[in-house]
Every structure is written in structure tokens, then in C-alpha cells.
Amino acid sequence: MIIDARSLPGGTKIDTEVCIVGAGAAGITLAREFTSARFRVVLLESGGLEFEAETQDLYEGRLLDTTLAALTASRLRFFGGTTNHWGGWCLPYEAVDFEVRQGLPHRGWPFDKAYLDLWYRRAQEVCQIGPYEYGPVSWGIWPEQIVPPFRGPNFVCKVLQQSPTRFGSAYEADLRQAGNVAVYLHANALTFVTDEMDKQVNKLSVGSLSGNRFSISARVYVIAAGGIENARLLLTSGKPNGPGLGNQHDCVGRFFMVNLNYSGGQIIPSDPYVNLDFFSGRAGSVYTGFGARQGFVSFIGLSAETMRDLQLPGAKILWQYKFKPVADAVSAARRFAAGESSSEGTLADLAKIIGNLDGISELAVRKALFHQGLPVEALTLDCSSEQLPNWESRIFLDIERDALDIPKIVVDWRLTPDDKKKAAATLRLLGREIGRAGFGRLRSSLDGEDARWPEDLYGDEHHMGTTRMHVDPRLGVVDADCRVHGMTNLYVAGSSVFPTSGASNPTLTIVALALRLADHIKERLM
């Protein structure tokens, strides 16, 4: 059932077994797993079923570095959460992402990839994507199609699948129909009220922007409010003027990570007609290369062996094609033949065609005889690098408060010189490998020895690490079960628990971990 919390009488006390805060990818996944359970579940959502500016403003906060995506643009605060406008790109973390690794500090998850595979497979279904297959061959890209040096040993072709799922609209009906699940809209978790020792949550205070206040008492609480709000809720709870919950070692809010996006420079291919069909890239529409299977996009990444041997973090390299000017004339000719014209008009198109007649006829011959496409002048690189975990990169509470009287957050996002050095080393390796393979030359944008990034660097919307998972409470906020260290009944779901950020997009892993947490809670309550 779905209830608007603004209609509840003030002071209402709700009893339940499980209380989940936040109806985004993590919270909705958890709640759906409980729809056939024998216990009651409350799912609290700050927003309504649609976007409301007043609720979205609760996401305002201060960025000390504005190369990070703005906080109100990088999250959405209504039913379905940020999946209401996510790109849908899904990719599991690789085995190497879970490992403790030489030369890279603060790495290692409490379990390995093989252990998580079971939940990854189930996450594929929740995200409504294809099979749990991410090797190019499964997507119709054969090794012989992949030109050197992108078939190993250092660089390999990888695949992302695209989910069409907006979690709110896709799963609203399931939750509405579930007799044991109550979704409260316009219900903001305000603060967890704990016992004397801050070991157990006794109740959760909840409020609506309309002024309504009520509380939830549950056996188990899960915070699933997004990568930043998860930490904010821990910091604003517990004893007045205390450090917050799970924060006895000053870990909450620290190790804040995102993926680093920047233009990596240009590859000038030796052969402008090189066959790059294996690579669909971001610029094109989703390449549905075979059958009716899910859309996917291929990209270039480092092999696991090279990441291990050269102590490199993950990287995702996509490129956009810059075609030779004759390609423009070919497009003009195609338009002309179809009786259409560009925005510049038919005469401008005709001028392009006449000025490039030789080029166009050469292309026609090449296409007819050798099935060759348009000549490529350069491949412009769009890179995404994994940010290294860093204690100094953090979020903390501001003195300014929001409309619910909760402290806003400040984001002090920090990169280390190593972030730049490792990303530059990856591009240097790429330059060397494409030279050696005779593929072309790379003009890298990261050549300088200093820590400066290209001007278009931006930290993206994938907020991770602020309540990281670690077996040692001095190095993490939650344990391997995602339970807050030192607390009996408080759990965290979402990318805030990731100890490392990887180069994969986070949501598939968020969903896999939420499914695993649901299994753990079911076992605990049965």
C-alpha cells in the first residue's frame, strides 16, 4: 500500500519489523524482496510519486570544489530516486576490484567477486537487462574483429548493458499491492533515536515538509537514502553534540569517491579506414548488434593482469569519431539524394558535394569493393577513471540547516597526485601499445608531470564510500553484512558502502548488495 504521510495524525507511532529509508534503486529492491515475507515493512520516501521542487531543495549542500556535479542535479528526491533520470548503464565490478592490491592503499572488499555472483545474477533481472554476460563474444563481437592492441594483453574490449528501468514506475504496482509493505510518501527520516550506549536504534523520527511529525519503531532499520544522505543521516543521529552513529573512529563521511571523467586526448589512426566495428562507443545509439537482445555499448578497459602488474586502478575509455571533411560531403550527398537539406540549405550542401567529388567517388569505390566506411581523422577519447580511496575526501555537516531543520552537508571532495599519475600512466601505456601495434599515435591530455587535470575534468554523479564496508571498525563504517559497526539493528544499503569505486557504474552492484542484505534480514527475522 502507498500512503501520503502528510495525512497521518501528528504524533502517530508506527510499529513494524523492518523500516527502510529511501525508495531509490536500493530501497525499492529491498522492499520488493520482502513482499512475500511474513513480517511487516515500512518504506519511507522523502518525495511523492513525481518531482517537487520544495522536496528537491532538501538536497542542497555546499561543494568546496565545483568540478563535482552539483548536488541537486546529481540526485533526485522522489519515489524511484535518482533512477528517475539515470543513464541505465550496468556493469558488475571485476574480480580485481575486490582484491587487496600491492601499491594501492585502502583496497579490498571483505569478500570476493565469486561470492557476489549469485546476487549479481539476480540483480540483472531487477535491472531488467540481458544475461549475466559481459564478455564481447556474448554480444556478437568476435576476437578477430577487435583490432590490436585492443584484444590484449594490456587493453581489452568490454561491454556495458543498458537498463531501461526507472525503479519507481517499474515497481510501484508491486509495492502498492503488497499487503505487508507500507510505503509512506513525503516522509523524511530525520534522526535515529538510540539507547544509552548508541548500540541500538529504538525509533526513527520522521517529518513531512507540511510540518507533520511521527515515528517508526522497528526491529531492523536500513538506510538507503543515497551515497551522500546515508552518511548525513548517521552524522545527524545519536546523542546531541555526539559524533553521530557508527562514527567512533571518525570514518562516517570519509573516503568520498566518484568516477573521474575527462577528455583523454586524441588517437590519430595510421589507417583512416581501419575497421572499428567492434567499438560502438558512447556517441552512437546503442548497438543492438544481434538478435533482439538488450542494448549494450562496448568500450576499452585495462586487463585485470595489467591492473595488477602495473598497480593501476580501473579505467573506461570510449571514443568519438572525428571524420575527415569528405565525410561531411558524403552526408550532404545522402541528404540531397533523399530530397532533404541541412540547416544551411540545399545550396550549401551542393557546394560541399561539388567541392569533394573526387573524395566521394573514391569512397563509393572503397565501399563497393572493400565494404569500407568513412575515413576517420581522429578518435577523441572520453575517459572515466576510478578515484582512489582517500581519507581526506569527505562530506561533513554544515552549520546551515534545511527546511526540516537538519544540518545541510558540505562536500570536500579531494583528489590525490596519485589519481592523476595513475590515470596518466594508463594513457601512456595506451599510447605505447597503439604505437607498437601500428594502430596510430596518441596525443594524451594527461602528459604533464604535475597534478593538473584537463579543464573539462568533472567528478560525476556516482557518490561512493562515505559509509564504507570494512571488517575493521577503524577503517570502515559497516561490517561485511552492511551493519553499522557497534550497532545491533542498523544497516546501510547503497554505494556509500563501497570500499573502492572501480571503473564500473555503481547501480548494478548497489542492487546486488541490496538483494544480499534482504536475504540476510530475512534470515535474521525468521
What span, in angstroms and rounded, lies between the C-alpha atoms of 114 and 381? 32
| Alpha carbon 113 to chain centroid, angstroms | 18
Per CB under 6 A, does 214 bind ligand FAD? no
Name which of 251, 259, 339 is nearest 299 in CA terms.
259
The smaller minimum CB distance to ligand FAD, of residues 154 and 466, is found at 466
Q: At what angle do helices 357-370 and 326-337 cross, to 10 degrees?
A: 80
Per CB under 6 A, does 92 bind ligand FAD? no
The kind and range of the H/E element at 111 are none
Q: Select the span of 60-68, 70-78, 437-445, 472-480 touching ligand FAD (CB under 6 A).
A: 70-78
Q: At what angle do helices 326-337 and 346-355 cross, to 10 degrees?
A: 130
For residue 168, the minimal CB distance to ligand FAD (Å) is: 8
Name which of 107, 41, 48 is nearest 78 in CA terms.
48
Secondary structure class of 302 (helix, strand, coil): strand
Per CB under 6 A, does 23 bind ligand FAD? yes
For residue 169, the minimal CB distance to ligand FAD (Å) is: 13
Per CB under 6 A, does 87 bind ligand FAD? yes
| Interface of this chain with ligand FAD, residues 439 to 468, rule: CB under 6 A | 461-462
The smaller minimum CB distance to ligand FAD, of residues 86 and 279, is found at 86
DSSP string, 415-482: --HHHHHHHHHHHHHHHHHHHHTTSEEEEETT-SSSSPPPTT-EE-S--B-TT-B-SSTTT-SB-TTS
Per CB under 6 A, does 46 bind ligand FAD? yes
| Alpha carbon 152 to chain centroid, angstroms | 26
For residue 229, the minimal CB distance to ligand FAD (Å) is: 4
Per CB under 6 A, does 262 bind ligand FAD? no
Per CB under 6 A, does 203 bind ligand FAD? no
Q: 189, 204, 478, 492: which one contacts ligand FAD (CB under 6 A)?
A: 189
C-beta separation of 450 from 237 below 8 A: no
Per CB under 6 A, does 225 bind ligand FAD? yes
What span, in angstroms and rounded, lies between the C-alpha atoms of 31 and 34? 5
Q: 124, 161, 188, 467: which one contacts ligand FAD (CB under 6 A)?
A: 188
The smaller minimum CB distance to ligand FAD, of residues 75 and 422, is found at 75
Q: Select the span of 219-227, 341-349, 429-437, 468-476 touching ligand FAD (CB under 6 A).
A: 219-227
What's the burial of 41, exposed, middle or buried (CB within 10 Å: 0-12/13-18/19+)? buried
Name which of 434, 125, 150 is nearest 298 in CA terms.
150
Per CB under 6 A, does 44 bind ligand FAD? yes
Rg of the chain over Cα atoms, rounded to whole angstroms, equals 25
What span, in angstroms and rounded, lies between the C-alpha atoms of 161 and 286? 9
The kind and range of the H/E element at 328 are helix 326-337
Per CB under 6 A, does 207 bind ligand FAD? no
Q: Which residue is nearest to ligand FAD (CB)?
A: 24
For residue 49, the minimal CB distance to ligand FAD (Å) is: 11
Q: 16, 34, 83, 388: which one contacts ligand FAD (CB under 6 A)?
A: 83
Q: 120, 149, 506, 515: which one contacts ligand FAD (CB under 6 A)?
A: 506
In sequence order, what are the residues at sequence separation of 6 or more whose Cβ sits closer than 8 angstroms to the Cβ of residue 241? none
Per CB under 6 A, does 22 bind ligand FAD? yes
Q: Select the span of 80-88, 290-298, 326-334, 358-366 touching ligand FAD (CB under 6 A).
A: 80-88
Q: 74, 266, 384, 387: which one contacts ligand FAD (CB under 6 A)?
A: 74
**Extended strands (E) in 24-100:** 41-44, 62-63, 89-90
The smaller minimum CB distance to ligand FAD, of residues 47 and 130, is found at 47
For residue 92, the minimal CB distance to ligand FAD (Å) is: 11
Task: State residue 260 phi and psi, 5-degree precision.
Answer: -100, 115
What span, in angstroms and rounded, lies between the C-alpha atoms of 215 and 176? 21
Q: Select the span of 82-90, 211-219, 237-245, 357-365 touching ligand FAD (CB under 6 A).
A: 82-90
Per CB under 6 A, does 495 bind ligand FAD? yes
For residue 133, the minimal CB distance to ligand FAD (Å) is: 18
Per CB under 6 A, does 27 bind ligand FAD? yes
Per CB under 6 A, does 78 bind ligand FAD? yes
Task: State residue 377 phi and psi, 5-degree precision.
Answer: -85, -45
| Interface of this chain with ligand FAD, residues 402 to 441, rule: CB under 6 A | none
Per CB under 6 A, does 25 bind ligand FAD? yes
Q: 89, 256, 278, 439: which one contacts ligand FAD (CB under 6 A)?
A: 89
Q: 494, 499, 512, 518: which one contacts ligand FAD (CB under 6 A)?
A: 494
Per CB under 6 A, does 477 bind ligand FAD? no
Secondary structure class of 296 (helix, strand, coil): strand
Per CB under 6 A, does 512 bind ligand FAD? no
What span, in angstroms and rounded, lies between the C-alpha atoms of 45 and 402? 17
- The binding site for ligand FAD (CB under 6 A) comprises 21-27, 44-47, 74-75, 77-78, 81-83, 85-89, 188-189, 224-226, 229, 461-462, 494-495, 505-507, 510
